[in-house]
């Protein structure tokens, strides 16, 4: 029976989760000295095709050209007129058969150089290389670009010394910041948002959205989903483990169309105790994952560890095969709090207006979009093996097997309700059915925190989240 199969799957996954322990550690290097409160640190990525180190000299009279890849972090302190390279993570490689390599920081001793402003956009870095050569690097700032030109000069009367010259361009990563909790990467544009999915090394960092952005230029599979799942406890899994603070802003027109792909959403797969998505709104997302994929949501496909708070989806549609939700595909032993979705949701099984599957907690949430599927279909959650508290749904719900106004299959709904008139459903695996008039009265929602978490325009509207 399908019920027995589902219970067995849940037990097996829970058992495997208990006996397997993954430790994800985000390491950050900070070699900076004390700087004033006005100092700003940004991360820049070398543009490899336009960034070179040339090595010449020595007894053999070499002339080798290396291309630079990687990043640097630069701190500017306008109050003191000083600057410093606080961290270099880069490598330079030539195109010879031998594939010679150099460490730019080793060659120029960059993190030990002293930087002084020449004018508002130009900085002179001076110091010594480890072979006692003099180093001079001039950095010119042009919006998001750094132009670096430098050279080493051997000591007087020296012999058999190599000379190195630097000619490079680095682009500021995202809109600023270093990704640390107190200095998150700043996101200002759709391009910067899309770039996150290319840098797996940043998926344990902190991000903050600084303005409303529009992703309508990205069609099909153009958008780079953040975090991906390969298989249960697979070493190839790459979850998002950081914090994304929407900062009260919105992302509009997120579109993704694919077939036979799992864990689809703005964030595909999230897993870490400290992982969090908060304060973010999605406007008119449109996700079509075909008829094969599972774990489909507009905000996230699979939340295995972490939390989603104060997020919402307005308009748009989400469709897929299994575990399909307006906000989230699968919530596995995690928390979703103070969220809502108005999206139209459709799928085969485990289909819900807010989440397809819930094996965690959902608190102070609601959904109003229509939901349709075949089996385990609910106005808020399709399959619920967790806890739902102080939630409701109002959308039309249609399906064939295990269909409910609030929950399709399972239970665990506390002080939660659905509209029996607008949903077209008189039954639910959890929750209490009410008429539209009752759903628009505060005294229906006993124990809800009106004035703190919820507000209501009695007789005219359903409860809305206070924020």
Domain end (from 135, 152, 172): 172
In this prediction, residue 22 carries a pLDDT of 34
User: Are 416 and 388 spatial neighbours (Cβ–Cβ below 8 Å)?
Assistant: yes
Q: What contacts 35, CB < 8 A, 6 or more positions away? A: 75, 77, 80, 84
In this prediction, residue 264 carries a pLDDT of 98
Distance CA 312, CA 32 (A): 39
Judge if 382 and 238 occupy the same domain.
yes
Judge if 198 and 121 occupy the same domain.
no
The position carrying tokens 């008829």 is: 291
Judge if 360 and 446 occupy the same domain.
yes
CATH number at residue 99: 2.40.160
Judge if 304 and 362 occupy the same domain.
yes
User: What φ, ψ does residue 370 adopt, rounded to 5°?
Assistant: -75, 150
User: Are 379 and 403 spatial neighbours (Cβ–Cβ below 8 Å)?
Assistant: no
In this prediction, residue 247 carries a pLDDT of 98
How many beta carbons lie within 10 A of that of residue 70, not counting itself? Answer: 18
CA atoms within 13 A on the CB side of 221: 8
Judge if 376 and 426 occupy the same domain.
yes
- Six-digit token string for 353: 């207006």
- Six-digit token string for 276: 């969090």
- Residue 91 is part of which domain span? 40-172
Judge if 93 and 222 occupy the same domain.
no
Distance CA 450, CA 207 (A): 32
Do the domain assignments include residue 7? no
Give burial (CB, 10 Å; 0-12/13-18/19+) of 9.
Answer: exposed
Judge if 154 and 203 occupy the same domain.
no
Please tell me whether residue 3 adopts helix, strand or coil conformation. helix
Distance CA 283, CA 244 (A): 17
Do the domain assignments include residue 208? yes
Do the domain assignments include residue 22? no
Judge if 91 and 49 occupy the same domain.
yes
Closest CA to 163 of 53, 52, 51, 55: 55
User: Are 169 and 145 spatial neighbours (Cβ–Cβ below 8 Å)?
Assistant: yes
User: Are 53 and 104 spatial neighbours (Cβ–Cβ below 8 Å)?
Assistant: yes
Judge if 321 and 365 occupy the same domain.
yes
The position carrying tokens 């910041």 is: 177
Domain end (from 172, 202, 217): 172
Judge if 427 and 295 occupy the same domain.
yes
Bridge partners, residue 66, by sequence: 53, 94
DSSP3 helix / strand / coil % (the chain, rounded to 5): 10, 45, 45
Do the domain assignments include residue 121? yes
Domain end (from 146, 172, 198): 172
Distance CA 307, CA 361 (A): 10
The position carrying tokens 């249609």 is: 398
Do the domain assignments include residue 124? yes
Closest CA to 354 of 400, 306, 307, 391: 391
- Six-digit token string for 99: 């594939």
Do the domain assignments include residue 27? no
Distance CA 416, CA 93 (A): 61
Judge if 333 and 358 occupy the same domain.
yes
Pairing state of beta strands 317-319 and 344-346? parallel
In this prediction, residue 36 carries a pLDDT of 57
Closest CA to 185 of 267, 245, 273: 245
Give the DSSP per-residue string, 334-402: -EEES-EE--EEE-SEEEESSEEEESSEEES-EE-S-EE-SEEEESSEEEESSEEES-EE-S-EE-SEE
CATH number at residue 312: 2.160.20.110
Judge if 279 and 166 occupy the same domain.
no
- Mean pLDDT per 10-residue run, the chain (467 residues)? 42 41 34 57 94 91 94 94 95 91 97 96 96 96 96 87 96 92 96 95 97 98 97 94 98 96 97 98 97 95 98 98 98 97 98 98 98 98 98 98 98 97 98 98 97 97 96
Do the domain assignments include residue 322? yes
Do the domain assignments include residue 10? no
The total domain count for the chain is: 2
User: Are 354 and 379 spatial neighbours (Cβ–Cβ below 8 Å)?
Assistant: no
Give the DSSP per-residue string, 167-220: EEEEEESTTSB-SBTTBPEEE-SHHHHHHHTT-GGGTTSEEEE-S-EE-TT--T
């Amino acid at each position: 029976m399908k019920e027995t199969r589902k219970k067995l799957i849940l037990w097996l996954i829970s058992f495997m989760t208990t006996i397997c322990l993954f430790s994800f550690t985000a390491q950050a290097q900070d070699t900076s000295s004390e700087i004033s409160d006005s100092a700003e640190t940004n991360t820049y990525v070398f543009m490899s095709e336009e960034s070179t180190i040339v090595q010449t000299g020595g007894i053999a009279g070499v002339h080798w050209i290396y291309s630079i890849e990687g990043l640097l972090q630069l701190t500017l302190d306008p109050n003191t007129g000083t600057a410093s390279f606080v961290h270099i993570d880069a490598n330079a490689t030539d195109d010879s058969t031998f594939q010679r390599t150099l460490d730019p920081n080793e060659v120029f001793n960059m993190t030990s150089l002293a930087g002084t402003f020449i004018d508002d956009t130009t900085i002179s870095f001076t110091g010594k290389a480890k072979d006692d050569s003099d180093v001079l690097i001039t950095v010119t700032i042009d919006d998001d670009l750094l132009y670096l030109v430098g050279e080493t000069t051997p000591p007087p009367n020296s012999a058999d010394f190599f000379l190195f010259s630097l000619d490079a361009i680095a682009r500021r990563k995202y809109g600023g910041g270093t990704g640390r909790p107190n200095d998150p990467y700043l996101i200002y544009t759709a391009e910067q948002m899309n770039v996150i999915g290319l840098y797996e090394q940043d998926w344990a960092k902190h991000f903050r959205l600084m303005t409303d952005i529009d992703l309508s230029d990205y069609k099909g599979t153009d958008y780079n989903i953040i975090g991906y799942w390969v298989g249960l406890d697979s070493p190839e899994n790459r979850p998002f483990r950081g914090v994304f603070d929407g900062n009260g802003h919105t992302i509009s027109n997120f579109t993704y169309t694919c077939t036979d792909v799992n864990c689809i959403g703005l964030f595909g797969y999230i897993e870490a105790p400290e992982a969090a998505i908060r304060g973010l709104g999605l406007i008119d997302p449109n996700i079509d994952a075909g008829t094969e994929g599972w774990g489909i949501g507009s905000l996230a496909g699979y939340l295995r560890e972490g939390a989603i708070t104060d997020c919402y989806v307005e308009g748009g549609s989400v469709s897929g095969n299994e575990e399909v939700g307006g906000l989230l595909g699968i919530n596995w032993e995690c928390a979703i709090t103070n969220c809502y979705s108005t999206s139209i949701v459709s799928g085969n099984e485990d289909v819900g207006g807010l989440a397809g599957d819930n094996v965690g907690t959902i608190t102070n949430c609601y959904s109003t979009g229509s939901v349709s599927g075949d089996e385990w279909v609910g106005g808020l959650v399709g399959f619920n093996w967790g806890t739902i508290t102080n939630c409701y749904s109002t959308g039309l719900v249609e399906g064939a097997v295990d269909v409910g106004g609030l929950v399709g299959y399972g239970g665990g709904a506390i002080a939660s309700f659905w509209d029996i008139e607008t949903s077209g459903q008189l039954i639910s695996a959890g929750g209490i059915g009410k008429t539209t008039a009752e759903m628009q009265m505060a005294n229906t929602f006993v124990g809800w925190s009106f004035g703190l978490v919820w507000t209501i325009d009695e007789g005219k509207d359903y409860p809305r989240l206070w924020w």
